[in-house]
Amino acid sequence: MLMNIESLQWDTRLTSFFGIPQKILPQIKSCSEIYGYVNAGLLTGVPIASIMGDEQASLLGQLCVKAGSITCSYNEGSSLLFNTGQEIIDSDNGLLSTVAFKLGPDAETFYALEGIAPCAGTAITWLNDTLMIPTQQLGNNSSPNCHSTLVHSLSDPQVIGGVPSTSNTYFSGVTHLNPLVSNNNYRSPTTTRICDEITFVPAFSGWYSPYWKYNSRGIISGLTSQTKSQQIVYATYEAIAFQTRQFLESLTRDCKMWPPIDRLLVGGDIVSDNNFLLQLIADLCGLTIEKPQTTSPPCLGAMLAAGLAMKILTLDHFRTYCVPPVDIFQPSIGDALRDARFSRWMKTVQKSLVLEYGGKSNSRAVSTEFLFEDKTNERPVSYSIPGTIFLFSSFTILLVAEILLQK
């Protein structure tokens, strides 16, 4: 936070502003060189040759080493990194300019644009641990904090609602991924009234990218007496996907002259064994999702950086022998349906931006026109007749009463 990303040195203005003497700060080095050696324990003498942030290591571990490559990690929060090569792009749409990696003291510095959402897996854990919503945990060795999935719940037609499906299944591509949703009883969430009404914005600690409003609060919109807990879980997964779409739209506006993004590499705890969520992200973002068949892309990235520093690995060798195969998820819905769902979710986002801590309204910051966007202008004129009759009759009674009093 105190480093100047252009000079790769401690920023004098920032350290002066925060009152931090630069002499107490360590020397800044690349992420791939020998910093020292372990001097105690079983690993004595082993060189320490790689230091990377989690998201940057994931970017490198999935070999996103060329400008234009992109990855998104889903853990407690979600983080999207877009490799911009040696170019620093100042975002006008809520993204951060950051260092991606520097593979050696004399190597070129690669930069990235980053989108951050603080709540992804955190929102699912909140449903599990705080609201006690029962869901099927991921993996065979689940810990108490393990994230959960909705796949089993969606196999129950009563969970999604009693409205018969009137179109093709929303996730036409997910049925071959898990037998729990590949039965004739599975109903499309997008064609059921209740799921269409529920949206969730998990802004528990405010908004990061692209709004940067620390005092916003989360909202669940559209609850009725018929709402089931699993529908809220579905809305949570949908919010995770839509947060990614927000990053991608900001990125498109910032990089108008770059080739369009048509695929996204993903990793992280909550997608490591959750094909349902991966298909949902593909559908709602409208691009191909590729998930490496490994639970920890960041470890691969740190290993590659260390191997390069020790001169026991090259990028070509790593690409040939160390990169795992990927599972591919293709979009299975059209743009109209995708955009309609996103538009509805964005209305709830706007409401969360209006709210501040303590329930105050921040109406100056955001227009409140969205509060009436659901109102239709196509209602028949006959809808106004009862009210007109009531007003006219009330006025007549008052007029007659006034005349009688005068007599």
Taking the domains of the chain in order of start, what are their residue ranges?
55-99+110-293+324-375, 376-406
Report the pLDDT averaged over residues 244-251.
98
Report the pLDDT averaged over residues 85-102.
97
Q: How confident is the model at residue 147 (pLDDT cuts 50, 70, 90)?
A: very low
Report the pLDDT averaged over residues 149-166.
38
189 pLDDT higher than 60? no
Q: How confident is the model at residue 130 (pLDDT cuts 50, 70, 90)?
A: very high
Report the pLDDT averaged over residues 210-238.
91
Q: Name 80's bridge partners.
A: 72, 115
List, in order, residues 6 or more apart from 110 with CB less than 8 Å away. 65, 67, 83, 84, 85, 86, 99, 100, 101, 102
- What are the structure tokens assigned to 95, written together? 């993204």
Task: Determine contact, residues 326/291, Cβ cutoff 8 Å.
Answer: yes
Q: Rounded to 10 degrees, what is the CA torsion of 86, 91, 96, 99? A: 10
**Mean pLDDT of all residues in the chain?**
81
**In the Cβ-directed half-sphere of 223, how many Cα atoms lie within 13 Å?**
9
Q: Rounded to 10 degrees, what is the CA torsion of 177, 179, 180, 186? A: 80
* Whole-number Å distance between alpha carbons of 306 and 31: 9
DSSP letter at 365 equals T
pLDDT for position 194:
43
Report the pLDDT averaged over residues 309-313.
94
287 pLDDT higher than 90? yes
176 pLDDT higher than 70? no
Q: How confident is the model at residue 135 (pLDDT cuts 50, 70, 90)?
A: low
List, in order, residues 6 or more apart from 388 with CB less than 8 Å away. none
165 pLDDT higher than 60? no
Instruction: Please write the tens of the pLDDT for every residue from 376-396.
Output: 444 455 556 776 777 777 778
pLDDT for position 356:
66
331 pLDDT higher than 50? yes
DSSP characters over 250-315: HHHHHTTTSPPP-EEEEESGGGTT-HHHHHHHHHHHTSEEEEESSS-HHHHHHHHHHHHHHTS--H
* Whole-number Å distance between alpha carbons of 108 and 180: 48
**Lowest mean pLDDT, pick from 76-85, 104-113, 158-167, 354-363:** 158-167
Q: How confident is the model at residue 355 (pLDDT cuts 50, 70, 90)?
A: confident
**Element containing residue 221 per DSSP (H, E):** strand 219-221
- What are the structure tokens assigned to 136, written together? 């099927």
264 pLDDT higher than 80? yes
In 3D space, the residue among 274, 200, 268 whose CA is nearest the CA of residue 233 turns out to be 200
In the block, residue with structure tokens 């609602």: 161
**Element containing residue 78 per DSSP (H, E):** strand 78-85
407 pLDDT higher than 90? no
196 pLDDT higher than 80? no
- State which amino acid sits at residue 54: D
List, in order, residues 6 or more apart from 77 with CB less than 8 Å away. 116, 117, 118, 119, 120, 121, 122, 208
> If you classify domain 55-99+110-293+324-375 with CATH, what class do you get?
alpha beta
pLDDT for position 157:
39
* Whole-number Å distance between alpha carbons of 193 and 164: 10
- What are the structure tokens assigned to 198, written together? 């529920």
List, in order, residues 6 or more apart from 72 with CB less than 8 Å away. 78, 79, 80, 81, 244, 247, 264, 265, 266, 267
Instruction: Please write the tens of the pLDDT for every residue from 13-38.
Output: 999 999 999 999 999 999 999 999 99
Residue ranges in 130-177 assigned as alpha helix (H): 157-160
Maximum mean pLDDT: which of 92-101, 183-192, 223-232, 353-362: 92-101
- What are the structure tokens assigned to 263, written together? 């695929």
Report the share of the chain in percent with pLDDT over 90.
62
* Whole-number Å distance between alpha carbons of 385 and 123: 47
Q: How confident is the model at residue 136 (pLDDT cuts 50, 70, 90)?
A: low
